[in-house]
């Protein structure tokens, strides 16, 4: 059934868990970060895992981990809580440096996917609670930076999700009505921000959250971003 709203003219993507599959990218990274700061001490390793909501047995973030949708600063604060006397700023810098070279698992073949959306006349953006530096490095690593009209991190001066401000910055940058933009993400932070900004909201299942968690905040939940073109054709087909 077509949505009772105009078809979107812009698509704003979250990065982690949306453009890139969360587990294959960030579980490996987190295990390495914890090992780095634990420095061979099992007690510290467990304390760091507890503070970040990371399951050491399965080498995976727990669904309620504060790191999943948090900013780089919030992740640094979690780690610092298990490392008394450690400078949070130094941890934040280490996380930013290591995140920029984290392993990447694209949710779909991104260059042709984004080219198809641009061929439809879509304006495209990325808004992540990661740093802008990491976003630029990772998008550049898969050769898609130039396909976006707007790229922002939590430190780009617009704020962080779940606040709507960085989403509205994309609307201003592209001169689009927020109602003609879809926010696409794998977490409730993404979708709550989208709703608050007055945007269409699309949940994807390439992050830790399951459909029942996303559905109350989403106009639709898709398996991954690769399903968006078909959904657009169906949801906004002429009545």
pLDDT band at 33 (very low <50, low <70, confident <90, very high): very high
- For the chain, the distance separating the N- and C-terminal CA atoms, rounded to the nearest angstrom, is 8
Domain residue extents for the chain: 10-21+106-235, 23-99
Tell me the C-alpha distance between 163 and 194, whole Å: 9
- Architecture in CATH of 10-21+106-235: 3-Layer(aba) Sandwich (3.40)
185, β-bridge pairs: 203
pLDDT at 239: 64
Percent of the chain whose pLDDT exceeds 90: 85
Count of CA atoms in the C-beta half-sphere (13 A) of 28: 11
The predicted-structure confidence for 94-123, as pLDDT tens digits, reads as follows 998 898 888 899 999 999 999 999 999 999
What's the mean pLDDT when you consider all of the chain?
94
150, β-bridge pairs: 125
Stated pTM of the model:
0.87
pLDDT at 198: 97
Tell me the C-alpha distance between 167 and 154, whole Å: 11
SS3 65: coil
Query: Which of these, 163, 114, 156, 113, lies nearest to 134 by C-alpha position?
Result: 156
């Amino acid at each position: 059934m077509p949505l009772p709203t105009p078809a979107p003219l812009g698509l704003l993507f979250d990065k982690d868990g949306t453009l890139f599959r969360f587990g294959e990218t960030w579980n490996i990274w987190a295990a390495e970060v914890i090992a780095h700061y634990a420095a061979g001490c099992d007690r510290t390793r467990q304390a760091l895992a507890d503070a970040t909501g990371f399951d050491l047995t399965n080498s995976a973030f727990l669904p309620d981990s504060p790191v999943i949708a948090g900013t780089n600063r919030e992740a640094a604060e979690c780690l610092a809580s298990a490392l008394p006397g450690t400078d949070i700023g130094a941890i934040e810098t280490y996380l930013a440096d290591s995140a920029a070279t984290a392993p990447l698992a694209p949710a779909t073949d991104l260059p042709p996917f984004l080219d198809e959306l641009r061929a439809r006349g879509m304006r495209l953006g990325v808004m992540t609670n990661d740093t802008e530096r990491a976003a630029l490095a990772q998008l550049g690593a898969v050769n898609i930076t130039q396909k976006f009209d707007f790229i922002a991190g939590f430190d780009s001066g617009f704020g962080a999700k779940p606040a709507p401000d960085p989403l509205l910055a994309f609307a201003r940058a592209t001169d689009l009505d927020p109602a003609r933009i879809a926010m696409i993400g794998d977490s409730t932070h993404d979708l709550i921000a989208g709703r608050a900004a007055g945007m269409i909201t699309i949940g994807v299942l390439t992050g830790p959250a399951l459909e029942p968690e996303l559905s109350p905040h989403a106009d639709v939940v898709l398996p991954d971003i690769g399903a968006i073109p078909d959904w657009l054709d169906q949801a906004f087909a002429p009545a």
